[in-house]
Amino acid sequence: MGTPLETREAQAAEVIDRLHGEYPDATISLNFSNRLELLVAVVLSAQCTDERVNTVTADLFETYESAADYAAADQDELAADI
């Protein structure tokens, strides 16, 4: 059946509290202004440094402003932009 939702929410809250306690000044070094940009930046950060991601996404986020823009993009063109 799995763990009840209330229990999972309490567990998640406990994990977040502990992480804040251990890393009170934690920040993210990726540049983003919305959730889509954060998602794209995080995916790209798995392949290179955050500094490089910030360089690439500066232009990328101007060209592709929505999920629909990414979906409609020619794959070769998007790859070249990345």
Domains with residue ranges and CATH for the chain: 5-81 (1.10.340.30)
pLDDT at 3 over 90: no
How many angstroms separate the most distant Cα atoms in the chain? 47
Q: Which two tokens stand for residue 41?
A: 């930046």
pLDDT at 1 over 70: no
First to last CA, the chain: 43
What is the arithmetic mean of pLDDT over 4-16? Answer: 91
Distance (Å, whole) CA 64 – CA 72? 10
Distance of CA 73 to the CA centre of its chain: 20
Distance (Å, whole) CA 37 – CA 60? 9
pLDDT at 2: 76
What is the arithmetic mean of pLDDT over 30-45? Answer: 97
pLDDT at 10 over 70: yes
pTM: 0.74
Q: Which two tokens stand for residue 32?
A: 């983003």
